[in-house]
A = this chain, B = another copy of it.
Amino acid sequence: MIIVLKPECTKEQRISFSEMLKENYDVKVNVWDGVHSTVLGLIGDTTQVDIEYIDAQDIVESVKRVQEPYKKANRKFHPENTVIEVGNVKIGDGSLNIMAGPCSVESEEQIVEIAKQVKASGATLLRGGAFKPRTSPYAFQGLKAEGLDLLKIARKETGLPIVTEIMRTSHIDMFESVDIIQVGARNMQNFELLKELGKIDKPILLKRGLSATIEEWLMSAEYIMAGGNSKVILCERGIRTYETFTRNTLDIAAIPIVKRLSHLPVIADPSHASGKSWLVEDLAMASVAAGADGLIIEVHNDPPHALSDGAQSLTPKQFDKVAKKLFSLKSSLVK
């Protein structure tokens, strides 16, 4: 961390400020005395240093981080890829994993049928919403506990591990037998939820917030990891921009960036990123070409009658075609 002091800062102020820094944090302070200004360099573990606090000092002109503020999620301190195992499925080992299924679980028949079909097409995990975050209080909010039970039935029928979204801390026990717990975009900075998920031993699929920077997203992963749970899968699902043609803007660059900054696996969600089923294939292909470890894709047996997100769902038949292309692309890249 580099701190530029104001020209009017006296030597006494500078010394007392440096002392404070050394006392409060585990850092050494180097001083570089220029003609017009003085610069302090903090050496050591600066993840604990509160940059806003430093910036608020009267004598400080500006501050600049040199090191990233996250540690456990940082590839620098953990160069090898993290591979997350769920049953036989390995996420982050260089293979391509597709999580597929409906936005909302609607009935046993629906979820079992879709599960069988997406499995046949190569999906390795089943997604499905039981608790649904909806913008309107009047919209369908999911089958809740019953939805979880139906997912388990579908898992039993197909062997596919299940991925589903949690919305409140008090539900963690209820999610005991879920294979991967998803934290939705709107809860990416629900820090209380993240802290609790840090205490359990289960993979967490952490979606990027609607307007979260890559650094904030990794800081949210750090929240979970700081609690002891290092099984975090990151999911790029589009960010909010001024462009309204798509529901969100898939930040394709986030995939290689996160792979470089962090050792955690990264997947993409082309369904939510676009909000339009006809865009899913192209965005999924782009994500794989950019290095994604997996995809999460909405598939519904009857999109026009889906209780949520029908506009962005593929039919099982469409999904089959897309999955073939994705696996073919993946194998051509590996060669």
Q: How far is the CA of A91 from the CA of B56 in the complex (A)?
A: 32
- Contact check, A256 vs B243: say whether CB atoms are below 8 A apart: no
A149 is an interface residue with CB less than 8 A from chain B: no
A332 is an interface residue with CB less than 8 A from chain B: yes
Q: How many copies does the complex hold?
A: 4
- Bits for A127-146, please: 1 = Cβ < 8 Å to B, else 0: 00000011111111000000
A179 is an interface residue with CB less than 8 A from chain B: no
Closest-CB distance, A251 to chain B (whole angstroms): 6
A242: B residues at CB distance < 8 A: 211, 213, 239-242
Q: How far is the CA of A66 from the CA of B274 in the complex (A)?
A: 20
Which residue of the partner chain, among B53, B66, B289, contacts A37 with CB atoms under 8 Å?
A: B66
Q: Which of A77-85, A114-122, A218-226 contacts B (4 or more CB under 8 A)?
A: A218-226
Max count, chain B CB within 10 A of own CB: residue among A57, A64, A139, A195? A139
Max count, chain B CB within 10 A of own CB: residue among A32, A187, A214, A291? A32
- Contact check, A35 vs B39: say whether CB atoms are below 8 A apart: no
- Contact check, B245 vs A213: say whether CB atoms are below 8 A apart: yes
Q: How far is the CA of A273 from the CA of B290 in the complex (A)?
A: 14
Q: How far is the CA of A316 from the CA of B133 in the complex (A)?
A: 42
- Contact check, A214 vs B243: say whether CB atoms are below 8 A apart: yes
